Structure 1
Amino acid sequence: MFRKDLDAEGNKITLEVVRQILKVFKDVNVGTWIWHGGEPLLIGKEFYEEANAMIREQFKKVNICMQSNLTLIDDENAAVLRKWNIRPGFSFDGLTNHLTRKNTNRLMRSIPTADKNDVLGGAIMIITKDNIRQMIDDYEYFKRLGLGCKMNLIFAAHKNMNSYTLDGKMVAEEICKFFDYWILDTYRPADSDLCERYLMAALDAGGSCAFTDCAGKDYWFSTQPDGTIYHCGRDWPESAAVSFGNIFEMESVQDILNHPNHKRWYEGTRRMLQHCSDCDYFYSCHSGCYNDNIQYDLSMNKPEPDNCYTHQHVISHIIQVINEINYDDMPKYNPRFLNFLFRHQFRSAKMIKNILEESIKRIETPVNAENKLKEFLVI
């Protein structure tokens, strides 16, 4: 939406930029449009009325979203958000928010306003070295507030000197602890986006863009207020030359794909996929987040190693845990966790063993029951 000084030329998005994006993407079925910042609510509601109308006219089924800090929400702009069915995800670092964002008091006034107007989305929390060991406490905190929470790991960004990548071993240990707690939470349990992301990856069910090839068939593009194009809205190092030109230079999406920087970037993503293709966990991460990887290696030849360590150990732990689940044990598990598994057609190794044993018992035939069952399954 904007960068740096809101009033400086080229730092605030305009309707001209929106019109040009729509022109370039006219032949593409856009599924999601996200207003990002900076802070999107600093832009007047008149802009959103006109921009959202143009977007929805061209893309009838598009999901229009927003990421905000929510502190500027009021009844007027909430009415605009409600009209377009937008429930902003908002930055909120839980129990340490008073140290990181220093806006907890304002947030606590804004949340009821958003809720009253039926535009309350979920919180987005950054996991850092200061709060990673209290993920369970933060989960319980958001439960008490009645808020959903998406937990994202902090990552090193070239343009942010205060950013860093967490130690992979520590992250893996803490996520596994939190996962074990969450699956056994039966007292008013809440969803956990973090745990469900890893579960989806473990079950090869897609999910987070960080675990899929987001440069493949279903791709993202991000347009800055001045028209500069990147792959997504994260911080891309200028030294990597991954700007794909300017939206006003393009006539179609194919023009973006043909830009020399995009071709070079895409080739780099293929190298990372090839580098990781022999890994046992490749199916569940596809080299991880390309942005994290390019922050680590500008040549785009290999993934960021701490994220790689974390992913392998968390996925391994989850697979081991869920394969121990049996029908008799279900009352002790978080029903949201069990529903997630069954929605994705999961049955543990123990469950399958019990099913096979019961099936063998019910085969009424003089031939060897085990062989008969094997024959049946092959057919």
Structure 2
Amino acid sequence: MNAMMRRVVVGTAAVSMALTMAACGKAGSDKKDGAASGNNKSIGLLLPENASSTRYESFDKPFIEAKVHELCSDCKIEYANAEASASKQKQQFDTLIAQGVKVIILDAFDAKATQTWVKEAADKGVKVVAYDRLASGPVSAYVSFDNEKVGELQGQGLVDALGAKAAESNVVMINGDDADPNAAQFKTGAHKVLDSKVKGIVYEQSGEWKPTVAGQKIGAAISSLGKDGFQGVYSANDGMAGAIITQLKSQGISVPVGGQDASLDAIQRLVSGDQAFTIYKAYKPLADAAGELAVNLLQGKDVKGVATSTVDSGADKGIPSVLLDPKVVTKANIKDTVIADKLYKVADICTADFAAACTAAGLQ
């Protein structure tokens, strides 16, 4: 090999070594700060669905992201929506763990199915904040509303809507998904009130949190009981309430129907008189608490300054928890609740189709 060739080979080798060292240094930096590291600043956020309720994409997600970034400006949110599939959410959960995420905010689509997921995560040092509904397994913290109280408010809201006729009224109940522990708590709370204040529950089924299913179930109730066989309908959420009301109106039936979630279309139905009430669970305090808990867990801080209550879940006792108070919304207090809290503007509610009803309700 002549001198010129040796200089070329040595030069090439030097450049190659320099590039290799630079690449190693860059990979090391990525590992330190990126998702593959056990010391990263990524927080997973898994929400359950986006069909029967618009709240998750419209409110929960942006509020949680804003709170996390307020407390940790360089933290990153790894977000996914299960789109009403427990198996899809399991894949999303596993992906977050594989990426090295150390804290996951989980609103479980099927809370009973999460037992093994959460246990496996805990074994790998991954902390789970159960959001909105209490996921099974050793979660590190839980944030939600007093769900039995929600059900009690729903039951009382329907009694109030029935007025003096409540004691002689038969009620149809369309509950949430049997796989959701929140649905069971809503149901329990509603029965506490309705069982002693109405004549009877004459038809009760799960609507599975699906408007189409709820519409089918109220159709079956009408077929079974007749158009005059019930005087009020309990619906576990607003998405199902909308479908129920559509079905009732198609049959010429006008009875009080209540829901939950204070969705925009439900507020508009309150204004128009089609829906009797909804339950407002202020999303921002819920999301803020979840974001703060997640950042504290990520940073190794004690969560008890945020989670001032505890709840039990099967074998897991004393889970640090934040439990917030819900409110009933009727046409009469829209201004004092969802508008006062800036959840919606009057312009959001009072579109052209609802202008006259809004004027009559004193909203504009």
Q: Shorter-normalised TM-score: what interval?
A: under 0.3
Greater strand share, structure number: 2
Using the size of structure 1 for normalisation, the TM-score is 0.27
Structure number with larger C-alpha Rg = 2
